[in-house]
Each structure stands twice: as C-alpha cells, then as structure tokens.
Amino acid sequence: MEKIQQNQKFPLTIKRIGINGEGVGYFKKQVVFVPGALPGEEVVVEAVRAHPKFTEAIVKKVRKRSPHRVKAPCPVYEQCGGCQLQHLEYAQQLKAKRDIVIQALERYTKFSVEQLEIRDTIGMEDPWKYRNKSQFQLREMKGKIVSGLYSMNSHRLISVPECIVQHPITNKVNNEVRRILEDFRIPIYNEKTKKGIVKTIVVRVGVETGQVQVVIVTTGKELPRKDMIGKEIKKRLPEVVSVMQNINPKKTSLVFGDKTQKLAGTDYIEEKMSAFSYELSARAFFQLNPEQTIKLYDEVKKAANLTGKEKIVDAYCGVGTIGLWLAEGAAEIRGMDVIGEGIKDAKKNAAKHHLNNAMYVTGKAEDILPKWEREGWHPDVIIVDPPRTGCDPEFFKTLLKIKPKTFIYVSCNPSTLAKDLQAISKQYEVRYVQPVDMFPQTSHVEVIVKFVLKVV
C-alpha cells in the first residue's frame, strides 16, 4: 500500500465526525483526519502531517457541501479552537455526539453495538451563553492588555472580547477587570522573557444567584496596589462579591497554583441548582453548564430507580453533588474521594441541606468498600463519575467482588468509558447508554451507562 506523503493533495469523502470534532475519511484504506470537514462532504485535502497509522490534512476545496453546514457565528471560531462544531447545525451536533459514543464502543469493546440501547443525546434548548466560568490568558500588545485563548496546538493568543458560549456576565466582568489592570499599569506576564506578574483572569458566576467571583492568577505573591485593585473591581462591578489572588509560579498548562488569598469581599460565591445550594471557592470544581447538569443528575436518579430502601455509594464523589441529588430517594448515601478538601465540602453540603443519611470519607473506593463490606454494609447501587482518565483498574476488581445490583457510570470521555465497560462486561449487562450534551458547539460528550448485575 502506497503511504500518503506530506503536502500530497487528494480527494476525500468524509464519513463521520471524530472524537475531537474533525472530519474522518479514508484514502486508499488509510484514515485521514480533517478539521472543519463534515460527514457527507466531498473535499480535496492536503496532507500536513503523515503519521504511521493516520494522516492529518486540511481542506483545500469543497466539491460537495453538507446540507447541515452553517456559518459559525463566532468571528474568531477558526483561529481560537475552543469550539469545534459551530459550523454544524445543532440537531446534527447531537447526532454526531451519539455517533462518537458508538465509535468508541466499536473500537474498544467486543459488544454488538446494534444490540445496545444507545439513546438520543439530550441537548439544550438554547445551546449558547451557557459556560459559568471563563479562564482567559493575558498578553500585552502595543501597550494594551489583550485577553483570550491560545490557538489550537500553539501559544499564539487569540483575543476573545466576547465569547458566545460564555455566560454574558463573565465576558463583561473579564473585560472590565482587564481595563482595571491596564489603568493601574500592572505588568502582564510574558512567556518569552519570563517577566511580568499577572497571567490569567478567571471569572465564575453563580447563574441562579448572580454572584460573581474574580480570581487574578499571578506568578508570585507580589501584586502592586492589590488592595486598590480589589476595591476598584468591587466599585465598578457591584455583582462581584469575591476577589481572590491565586499564586502559580510554575511553568505549566495548569491555570491554578496551590495558594489563594483574598483581595476583597468573601472567600466564595453561592450557586443554586434545583433545591440545592453550593458554596464555591476559587479552586472548587463545579460543573460548567448548570442547566445541563440538572438534566444529567436527573438521568442518574432515573437510572438508580430508587424506592427509598437503597444503600448508595457515590465513588469519586468530589463535593458530593451527585450523591446529594439522590439522597432524598435513598436509605443511605456514602461517598468517598481522595481529595480531602472535596470531602470537607461534601460534609458541609450534606449538613446544610439537613441530610442525615449521607456520610463522606477521604480515601480510595477500592480500600474503603471492602472495609464496609467486612462490617456488614453492602451497597445496592454504586455510582462513579471519574476524571477523563477513567476508573482505576483496582476499583473494578473491587466492584466485581462487591457486586452491587446496579452500577451507574457517568463519563466525560467515551474512549476510557468503552475500555472500562469491557473490563466488567462478563458480570454486568449494559441496560442502556444515555449521552448528554454538556458542552454545545464542542466535540465533548458526557455519557451515563446503566449496568445491572447478570443473573447467574
């Protein structure tokens, strides 16, 4: 088979959307990834990178357009790379996300995918302006401070004054804080010279409460006129109730460092979801799309099918959000996580909502579950919502020993989900797979899988 060469031009028919939102086609049985191309399109492409197992290419000409192609409304869509699917009609985005889940199952499992119940993706009525948190990097250009996002696979900053997937308040606050830093002539960190102070502005809004928190991320403790900056932000932006400084001296892609201190207002903001309220400190994890989070958690509740008698384990529980959502319908909720701060918040959240049937401990599920089993406590339902890397293999060994009747897996990464499903398929049967669109206009998809223990 003749290998595709760099700079080679060739015709291609796009078959599907890949896991990163790119078009996928085949040329002489070789897989080709083409950003911006859509299923059904016939294009002429140029190979920009030829790898041993696949080729990356760019569109040179569209011979046949998809009827579902739309003009992306964002002016910097193609340069920014924060979204991948704005050029595809929203109804088709939902179909593409279901297909991304199917591709992962076909690639990493031995399941007969046709026989699985893979439901339609649950979408948003208005798939814009949903993100409750912005993290914009800063640069100084011609005496002005520019805030925005890095272009795909580069450190070229794209100015984003108005991001249309962000909640409008986050855009407004970010722009005003940028102006305040400019007015006070605060030195902005320069990656090349390693000089300057402020790296990033992080803004989070409580969508239901309207409260806003600003976090200014700096290279060290030093921030000139920090008290004045805090007061000026509060004066110009009355909705801001919390102004924090986070110190991150490391040369890393992680936004936050380990130390955070208050410049003005309170240490946290409040957010409400349904009957629950949450205190969010600067580094606390919270879902970025509250409207869809409610749908996601309601689907988890449906999958658990509670009668009031169930004992539930919320593994990888974070601040306890999923467990709290289910607590009212269960006999008892027990959660665990390796991050102690999250467990502290989970306990606080349970106490605040007067949930006497919830208990939270710090540690790994694979250590704690066998201990509870030895003490005679056996869960009916185990729920996991792990990070993108999926579950620890030791967790599955423990799950297969404990054997709860129902196991519910919430995943933000279809590839690791599929690999994990295969690991437990001998003892657990997939009842159904439910994709949820947490990030419209991007290629990300959240998935809930309900498993039931096979009757032997």
Active site residues: 412
Q: In whole angstroms, how far apart are CA 399 and each of 184, 305, 337, 433?
A: 56, 19, 16, 19
Alpha helices, DSSP H, located in 375-408: 393-402
The alpha carbon of residue 79 and the mean position of all alpha carbons in its chain are separated, in whole angstroms, by 21
Helices 168-183 & 226-236 angle (0-180, nearest 10): 140
| Sign of the four-CA dihedral 272, 278, 284, 285 | negative
> What does the radius of gyration of the chain's CA atoms come to, in whole angstroms?
24
Q: Give the pairing type, strands 381-384 and 446-453.
A: unpaired
In contact, 26 and 17? CB cutoff 8 Å: no
Collapsing DSSP states into helix, strand and coil, what is residue 190?
A: strand
In contact, 312 and 357? CB cutoff 8 Å: no
DSSP H or E stretch at residue 96: helix 90-108
DSSP 8-class letter at 435: E
Residue with tokens 């902005």: 188
Rounded distance between C-alpha atoms, residue 375 and residue 366, angstroms: 15
Rounded distance between C-alpha atoms, residue 318 and residue 306, angstroms: 22
Rounded distance between C-alpha atoms, residue 3 and residue 200, angstroms: 44
Helices 414-424 & 90-108 angle (0-180, nearest 10): 40
Q: How far apart are the first and last CA of the chain?
A: 48
Q: What angle do CA 397, 317, 350 make, to 5 degrees?
A: 135
